[in-house]
């Protein structure tokens, strides 16, 4: 009888990313999966937490950016929570037009990971992990709850931060000209 006292070493460092249940669909949970042929990791984002996050984005006046920003922040959180060593990340084409934003967000936190975008298809291990976790046939590795929301919102995205400008009234120091200053 063979006993495995140690975890087997990881041999593959190329991972694929897929989501099942879009972030914008507030009535359904979202699963974000990172997987290859050797190992897989899935994050569950319940619908209740997505509604809470959406309300936060709505109060800040950014509801249109909600989907792509939460996807990139949840992906960063998933990578950091998994103990997977990865060198290359292939992200499924979930948000066309926002590939550069997602790439910058992830690269800002994980500089050594090469990021590319492609349609990974239904035969991908990441798609299988996300789909079967979504259909509750597999158990997710981690779940976002109220305590994790602060960690996700604290993740900075790929954009630079701009400080607001303070304008002073430059005309307040000028003397006031009066047009009709006649004495009678």
Taking only the tens place, the pLDDT of each residue in 109-164 is 888 899 999 999 899 999 999 999 999 888 999 998 888 777 777 776 555 443 34
Does residue 24 carry a pLDDT above 90? yes
H helix runs in 82-141, sequence order: 99-109, 125-134
**Those residues with Cβ within 8 angstroms of residue 113's Cβ, 6 or more apart along the chain or in another chain:** 79, 86, 87, 88, 89, 106, 107
HSE on the CB side for 98, CA within 13 Å? 20
pLDDT at position 145 is 84
CATH 3.30.420 describes domain 14-158: yes
Query: For 45-86, what is each residue's pLDDT tens digit?
Result: 999 999 988 988 888 888 888 999 999 999 999 998 888 888
Strand order in the sheet with 142-143: 114-117, 88-91, 14-20, 30-35, 40-45, 142-143
pLDDT at position 156 is 65
């Amino acid at each position: 009888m063979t006993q495995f006292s140690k975890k087997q070493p990881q041999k593959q460092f190329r991972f694929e990313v897929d989501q099942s249940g879009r972030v914008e669909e507030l009535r359904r949970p979202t699963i974000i999966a990172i997987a290859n042929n050797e190992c897989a990791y899935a994050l569950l984002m319940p619908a209740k937490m997505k509604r809470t996050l959406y309300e936060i984005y709505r109060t800040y006046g950014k509801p249109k950016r909600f989907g792509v920003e939460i996807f990139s922040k949840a992906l960063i959180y998933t990578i950091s929570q998994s103990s997977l060593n990865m060198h290359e990340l292939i992200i499924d084409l979930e948000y066309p037009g926002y590939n550069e934003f997602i790439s910058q967000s992830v690269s800002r936190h994980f500089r050594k990971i090469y990021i590319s975008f492609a349609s990974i298809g239904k035969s991908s291990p990441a798609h299988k992990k996300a789909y079967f976790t979504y259909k509750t046939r597999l158990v997710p590795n981690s779940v976002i709850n109220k305590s994790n929301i602060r960690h996700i919102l604290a993740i900075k995205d790929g954009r630079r931060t701009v400080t607001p400008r303070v304008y002073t009234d430059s005309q307040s120091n000028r003397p006031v000209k009066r047009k009709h200053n006649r004495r009678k």
